[in-house]
């Protein structure tokens, strides 16, 4: 195997990723842009940053919209990647060529993260220009962290089961609830241990919030989230390499 | 080149009972050969092909291509493969699909566009190049699938039900394409339900049923084979005089059946023609694949 097929296919991966990465932009537009525009029109405010209450409201709306967009974006970006190709038998075409499946999906992941993060620049830049100044770099770092953890989890489930979308949602919700309860000391010892072993969703949310706010970042949590995300990605690629590509 | 030795595969599921898909399959496809795989539905053809491509590991035995594990071979040089179902994203346009596959095939940038044009021309889908795959008819989709398998020059070619959905004109055209692909360093495998097609395309056909190879039928001897074969010679007259040149020959009207190797056949015919015999046709009496198939599958 040479790198030539993968390099040649990279623009197609980028195009596919760009099409999927548009969804988070629309989410921000729908969840933040339209309500704020309505608020500004009804209050006859032309500059949100001129009014402290309006600024605070705008930033709250921005945080909510970006958090939702990052999450749904990550679900869409890598959800269904491996499982879909296997289920629809695309693998028979893709991997009759001199391409290693694990390298193909690693490339898809990297290209998807790079393309979607690049496109997501439009969100903080646009918001800063049209509404209230926000940290462009902070938002992008938060976006990257969410893509890494949720995207890796999506690839991992996709490498294991055809019902990866459902598995991803259940994992996200269950883990999120368990870890919030654990933080509030409301879990039995064994459930507490279990929740600590699950993907660090709660830590990811705290890290993302801290990166967007530019304060309160806990380095240990950042390392945990990045390490766990990379670990899941490697595990997924090992499974892709070793498990049958057709069932 | 392709070697399967005592290959076995069992599908296991959490709740169902295990299904033995392939048992003790041994088959060799040599370079320069076209080998068919025939069998009823569920016989194990698709499992066998998935193992050949390295998409599915065998539980028992050994599968190698050019001495390597199938996946290693495919990742090193690729295989020309036409699956039974053209299972590609249907929102892709025909030429987009070919460009994507040409990229994955590892063709140099300058070759890619040329290869795409070449295969579009070869399978006659120029008018459909801008259409999405979902809007193609079954036959055109099959031709698009065939086109992608022809993009790169591969040493191993695997066609699974290649004429599925093709009209008679394109079925014949497909046979020409396969004939053009024959090469001394290339091994080809064609799986099909269509025995007539296999008989026309292949040198040997492995008949598979209930996961086992029931019989391997030689449908075309390699050119220049030294082995004696049975021949049917049709003459305009003087059949007895021609038959006399071949010991053990039988005569029925103007037809003579005899056993001879190629040099003896030519020598005998030359002598007969020199003495005034008018030969109308000469053909090898080959085993009937259909007869062999029925007997193998029902036994």
pLDDT of B238 reads 83
Number of domains into which chain A is organized: 1
pLDDT of A217 reads 82
Is there a domain that residue A182 lies in? Answer: yes
What ipTM describes this predicted complex? 0.86
Chain A residue with the nearest C-alpha to that of B101: A94
List b or e across A15-32, with b for residues whose CB sees 16 or more CB atoms inside 10 angstroms. ebbeebbeebbebbbebb
Which residues, other chains included, contact A195 with Cβ-Cβ below 8 Å and sequence gap of 6+? A175, A178, A179, A181, A182, A187
pLDDT of B130 reads 93
pLDDT of B20 reads 87
> Where does CATH 3.30.70 sit in chain B?
229-284
Closest-CA residue to A97 (of B150, B276, B74, B28): B74
Is there a domain that residue A247 lies in? Answer: no
Place of tokens 């890290």: A207
pLDDT of B98 reads 96
d(CA B158, CA A224): 47
pLDDT exceeds 90 at position A139 = yes
Of B77, B87, B100, Cβ closest to residue A12: B100
d(CA B155, CA B180): 14
Is there a domain that residue A106 lies in? Answer: yes
Would you identify the CATH topology of the domain B2-218? Rossmann fold (3.40.50)
d(CA B71, CA B69): 6
Please answer yes or no on whether A246 and B56 come within 8 Å at the CB atom: yes
> How much is the average pLDDT of B6-20?
85
pLDDT of B222 reads 45
pLDDT of A131 reads 84
* Domain membership of residue A41 as a residue range: 4-242
Please answer yes or no on whether A245 and B85 come within 8 Å at the CB atom: no
d(CA A120, CA A113): 10
d(CA B140, CA B128): 8
> How much is the average pLDDT of A230-247?
92
Q: Which of A76-90, A211-225, B180-194, B216-230 has the lowest mean pLDDT?
A: B216-230
Higher local confidence (pLDDT), B297 or B277: B277
Mean pLDDT of chain B: 88
Chain A residue with the nearest C-alpha to that of B145: A93
Is there a domain that residue A86 lies in? Answer: yes
pLDDT exceeds 80 at position A44 = no
Is there a domain that residue A82 lies in? Answer: yes
Closest-CA residue to A146 (of A199, A76, A71): A71
Please answer yes or no on whether B103 and A9 come within 8 Å at the CB atom: yes
Confidence tier at B225 by pLDDT (50, 70, 90): low
Q: Nearest 5 degrees, angle CA B33-CA B197-CA A91?
A: 70
Give the residue from B10, B91, B106, B134 with the most A CB atoms within 10 Å of its CB, the best one to mutate: B106
What CATH class is the domain B229-284? alpha beta
Q: Supply the Cα-derived Rg of chain A in whole angstroms.
A: 20
Give the residue from A2, A97, A243 with the most B CB atoms within 10 Å of its CB, the best one to mutate: A97
What's the burial of B18, exposed, middle or buried (CB within 10 Å: 0-12/13-18/19+)?
exposed
Give the residue from B19, B46, B104 with the most A CB atoms within 10 Å of its CB, the best one to mutate: B104
> How much is the average pLDDT of B46-57?
90
Contact between residue A4 and residue B106 where contact means Cβ atoms under 8 Å apart: yes
Q: At B288, list the tokens.
A: 């009937």
State the helix-helix crossing angle for A122-130 and A101-120, rounded to 10 degrees.
10
> How much is the average pLDDT of A18-43?
80
Please answer yes or no on whether B74 and A2 come within 8 Å at the CB atom: no
> Where does CATH 3.40.50.300 sit in chain B?
2-218
d(CA B123, CA B190): 18
DSSP A29: I
Contacts of B74 in chain A (CB under 8 A): 95-98
Place of tokens 């009937």: B288
Q: Which of A14-18, A99-103, A212-216, B90-94 has the lowest mean pLDDT?
A: A212-216
pLDDT of B299 reads 61
d(CA A183, CA A177): 10
Which residues, other chains included, contact B120 with Cβ-Cβ below 8 Å and sequence gap of 6+? B94, B95, B98, B126, B129, B147
Q: Can you give the pTM of this predicted structure? A: 0.83
SS3 B38: strand
Q: At B151, list the tokens.
A: 């993009």
d(CA A60, CA A32): 9
Please answer yes or no on whether A8 and B104 come within 8 Å at the CB atom: yes
Give one word for B161, left, alpha or beta, with left for phi > 0 and alpha for psi -120 to 50. left
Q: What is the pLDDT of residues B247-291, one digit of tens each?
A: 999 999 999 999 888 889 999 999 999 988 899 999 877 656 776
Please answer yes or no on whether A96 and B56 come within 8 Å at the CB atom: no
Q: At B112, list the tokens.
A: 């890619």
Which residues, other chains included, contact A209 with Cβ-Cβ below 8 Å and sequence gap of 6+? A63, A67, A142, A216
> What is the least distance, in Å, from the CA of A173 to any CA of chain B?
26
CA A242 to chain centre: 26
Contact between residue B40 and residue B209 where contact means Cβ atoms under 8 Å apart: yes
> How much is the average pLDDT of B114-133?
93
Is there a domain that residue A183 lies in? Answer: yes
> How much is the average pLDDT of B214-240?
77
The share of chain A scoring above pLDDT 90, in percent, equals 53
Alpha helices in A121-218 (DSSP H): 122-130, 136-160, 164-183, 189-197, 201-213
């Amino acid at each position: 195997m040479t790198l030539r097929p993968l390099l040649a296919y990279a623009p197609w991966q980028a195009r596919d990723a760009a099409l999927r990465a548009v969804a988070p932009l629309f989410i921000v537009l729908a969840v933040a842009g339209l309500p704020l525009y309505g608020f500004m029109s009804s209050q006859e405010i032309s500059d949100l940053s001129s009014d402290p209450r309006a600024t605070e409201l705008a930033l709250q709306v921005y945080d909510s919209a970006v958090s939702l967009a990052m999450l749904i974006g990550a679900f869409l970006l890598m959800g269904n990647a491996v499982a879909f190709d296997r289920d629809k038998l695309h693998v028979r075409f893709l991997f009759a060529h001199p391409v290693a499946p694990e390298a193909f999906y690693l490339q898809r992941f990297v290209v998807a993260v790079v393309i979607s993060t690049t496109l997501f620049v439009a969100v903080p830049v646009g918001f800063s220009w049209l509404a209230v100044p926000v940290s462009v770099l902070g938002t992008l770092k938060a976006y990257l962290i969410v893509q890494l953890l949720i995207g890796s989890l999506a690839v991992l489930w996709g490498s294991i089961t055809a019902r990866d979308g459902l598995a991803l949602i259940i994992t996200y919700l269950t883990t999120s609830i368990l870890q919030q309860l654990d933080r509030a000391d409301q879990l039995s010892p064994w459930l507490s241990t279990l929740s600590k072993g699950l993907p660090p969703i709660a830590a990811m949310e705290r890290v993302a919030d801290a990166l967007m706010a530019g304060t309160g970042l806990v380095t240990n949590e950042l390392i945990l989230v990045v390490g766990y995300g990379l670990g899941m990605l490697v595990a997924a690629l090992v499974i892709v390499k070793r498990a049958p590509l057709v069932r | 080149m392709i070697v399967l030795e005592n290959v076995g595969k069992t599908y296991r599921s959490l709740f169902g009972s295990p299904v033995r898909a392939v048992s003790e399959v041994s088959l060799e496809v040599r370079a320069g050969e076209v080998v068919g795989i025939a069998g009823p539905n569920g016989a194990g053809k698709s499992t066998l092909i998935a193992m050949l491509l390295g998409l599915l590991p065998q539980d028992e035995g050994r599968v190698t291509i050019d001495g390597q594990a199938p996946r290693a071979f495919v990742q090193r040089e690729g295989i020309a493969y036409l699956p039974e179902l053209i299972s590609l994203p249907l929102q892709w346009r025909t030429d987009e699909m070919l460009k994507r596959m040409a990229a994955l095939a590892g063709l140099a940038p300058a070759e890619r566009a040329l290869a795409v044009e070449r295969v579009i021309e070869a399978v006659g889908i120029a008018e459909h190049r801008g259409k999405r795959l979902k809007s193609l008819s079954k036959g055109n989709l099959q031709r698009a699938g065939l086109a992608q398998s022809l993009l790169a020059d591969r040493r191993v070619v695997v066609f699974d039900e290649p004429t599925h959905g093709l009209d008679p004109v394109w079925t014949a055209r497909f046979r020409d394409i396969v004939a053009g692909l024959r090469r001394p360093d290339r091994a080809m495998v064609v799986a099909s339900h269509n025995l007539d097609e296999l008989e026309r395309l292949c040198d040997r056909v492995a008949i598979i049923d209930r996961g086992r190879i029931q019989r391997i039928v030689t449908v075309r001897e390699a050119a220049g084979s030294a082995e004696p074969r049975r021949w049917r010679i049709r003459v305009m007259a003087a059949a007895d005089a021609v038959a006399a040149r071949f010991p053990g020959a039988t005569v029925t009207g103007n037809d003579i059946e005899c056993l001879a190797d190629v040099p003896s056949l030519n020598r005998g015919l030359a002598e007969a023609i020199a003495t005034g015999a008018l030969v109308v046709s000469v053909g090898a009496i080959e085993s009937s694949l259909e007869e062999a198939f029925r007997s193998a599958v029902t036994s």
